[in-house]
């Protein structure tokens, strides 16, 4: 007790008290705060648009406006269609974590049922690309791989790299890597052209070709083994050159220095 009172006037005492108070507040909040995830009512399919509107009002309206008409912080969602909602929310890009050159992919906080409800609401605002069904983006024909590869190199490789590893654009924007991306999301991105990606509507790239591209991307980024090993991100000559110059030449220089400097002289004393 004496020890405690002796430290009461220590210069850091105020800081310690403040930290304890903050920890206590945070702990109490974590214990008593209401769970922030609303449970979706899957039974009420007919009310999907109404439910979607409620979710939209909570999660999206601060930027896109209460009726999806858009504001200075977010574009209008009239006519973007359900595919755009399914892509943006399903990959966690929306709600956006912060404004910036590019909204990155992050963990999705909504269930698929909630996403479908929001998509139903946004689709009711105006006609647009519809969320694809599974047979639209699942290929069963092995020939699709090579056709998809050709289409990928014509339409996609310039930004997403020949192996789908992504690449840099201007002013902080980038084309993301396609590794591990859902087939459905790849298909939707081509339909809707999210962020700065141009869209590839069915009129210029028919559904069948989109399916072929999805098949190629899934195969290249997920299934295809790499016979040589050590892809260095498949980014091409930049990473390979960097690796060669820094690690290859670095190792040679280190060995040369060791060979020249480290001699086995015996000393008499």
Partner 1 sequence: MSHDMSEEKLPESHGSAGHHEVAAHGDPFADPGLPAHEPRRTDIDERAAKRAERQVSLMFVVSMLATIGFIASYVAIDKEKIVYVWPLGNISALNFALGMTLGVALFLIGAGAVHWARTLMSDVELPAERHPIEADDEVRNDVIDQFRTGAAESGFGRRKMIRNTLIGSMALVPLSGVVLLRDLGPLPEDKLEHTGWLEATPAKPLALINMNTNLPMTAEDIIVGSLTFAMPEGLHTHDEDFQQRIAKDALMLVRIAPENIKDEKSKELGFEGILAYSKICTHVGCPISLYEQQTHHALCPCHQSTFDLADGARVIFGPAGHPLPQLKIITDEKGFLVATGDFDEPVGPSYWERAR
Q: How many residues does the chain have?
A: 269
The span from the CA of 257 to the CA of 259, in Å, is 5
Question: Which residues within the stretch 158-177 sit at the binding site for partner 1 (CB under 8 A)?
Answer: 158-159, 167, 169-170, 173, 175
- Per-residue DSSP letter, 67: T
Among 154, 241, 242, 248, binds partner 1 (CB under 8 A): 154
Whether the CB-CB separation of 116 and 53 falls below 8 Å is answered with no
- Rounded to the nearest 5°, which phi and psi values hold at 91? -90, 5
Per CB under 8 A, does 196 bind partner 1? yes
Total site size for partner 1, rule CB under 8 A: 37
Per CB under 8 A, does 72 bind partner 1? no
In the complex, least distance from residue 267 CB atom to partner 1, rounded to whole angstroms: 7
In the complex, least distance from residue 214 CB atom to partner 1, rounded to whole angstroms: 15
Per CB under 8 A, does 126 bind partner 1? no
- Per-residue DSSP letter, 194: -
Per CB under 8 A, does 214 bind partner 1? no
Per CB under 8 A, does 261 bind partner 1? no
Per CB under 8 A, does 55 bind partner 1? no
Per CB under 8 A, does 219 bind partner 1? no
Per CB under 8 A, does 233 bind partner 1? no
The span from the CA of 201 to the CA of 44, in Å, is 33
Among 2, 8, 9, 265, binds partner 1 (CB under 8 A): 265
The span from the CA of 226 to the CA of 217, in Å, is 15
Q: Which is nearer to partner 1, 182 or 207 (CB)?
A: 207
In the complex, least distance from residue 197 CB atom to partner 1, rounded to whole angstroms: 7
The span from the CA of 83 to the CA of 136, in Å, is 13
Whether the CB-CB separation of 178 and 215 falls below 8 Å is answered with no
Nearest to 59 by CA among 78, 37, 35, 81: 37
211: its two tokens: 């399916």
> Which secondary structure element, helix H or strand E, spans residue 62, and what is its range?
helix 61-64
From 8-16, 38-46, 109-117, 190-198, span contacting partner 1 (CB under 8 A): 190-198
> Which secondary structure element, helix H or strand E, spans residue 122, and what is its range?
helix 112-125
Q: Which is nearer to partner 1, 31 or 260 (CB)?
A: 260
The binding site for partner 1 (CB under 8 A) comprises 151, 154-155, 158-159, 167, 169-170, 173, 175, 193, 195-201, 203-206, 209, 225-231, 259, 263-268
């Amino acid at each position: 007790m004496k020890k405690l009172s002796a430290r009461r006037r220590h210069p850091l005492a105020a800081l310690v008290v403040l930290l304890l108070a903050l920890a206590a507040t945070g702990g109490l909040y974590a214990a008593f705060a209401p769970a922030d995830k609303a449970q979706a009512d899957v039974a009420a399919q007919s009310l999907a648009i109404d439910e979607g509107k409620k979710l939209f009002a909570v999660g999206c309206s601060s930027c896109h406006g209460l009726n999806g008409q858009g504001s200075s912080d977010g574009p209008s969602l009239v006519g973007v269609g359900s595919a755009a909602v399914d892509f943006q929310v399903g990959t966690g890009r929306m709600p956006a974590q912060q404004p910036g050159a590019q909204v990155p992919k992050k963990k999705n906080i909504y269930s698929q049922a909630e996403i479908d409800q929001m998509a139903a609401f946004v689709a009711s605002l105006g006609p647009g690309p519809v969320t694809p069904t599974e047979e639209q983006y699942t290929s069963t024909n092995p020939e699709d791989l090579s056709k998809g590869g050709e289409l990928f190199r014509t339409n996609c490789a310039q930004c997403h790299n020949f192996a789908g590893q992504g690449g840099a654009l201007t002013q902080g924007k980038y084309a993301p890597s396609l590794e591990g991306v859902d087939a459905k999301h790849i298909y939707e991105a081509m339909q809707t052209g999210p962020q700065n990606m141009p869209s590839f509507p069915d009129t210029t790239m028919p559904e069948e070709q989109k399916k072929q591209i999805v098949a190629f991307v899934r195969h290249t980024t997920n299934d295809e083994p790499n016979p040589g090993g050590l892809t260095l991100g498949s980014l091409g000559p930049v990473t390979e050159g960097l690796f060669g110059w820094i690690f290859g030449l670095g190792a040679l220089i280190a060995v040369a220095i060791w060979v020249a400097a480290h001699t086995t002289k015996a000393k008499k004393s």
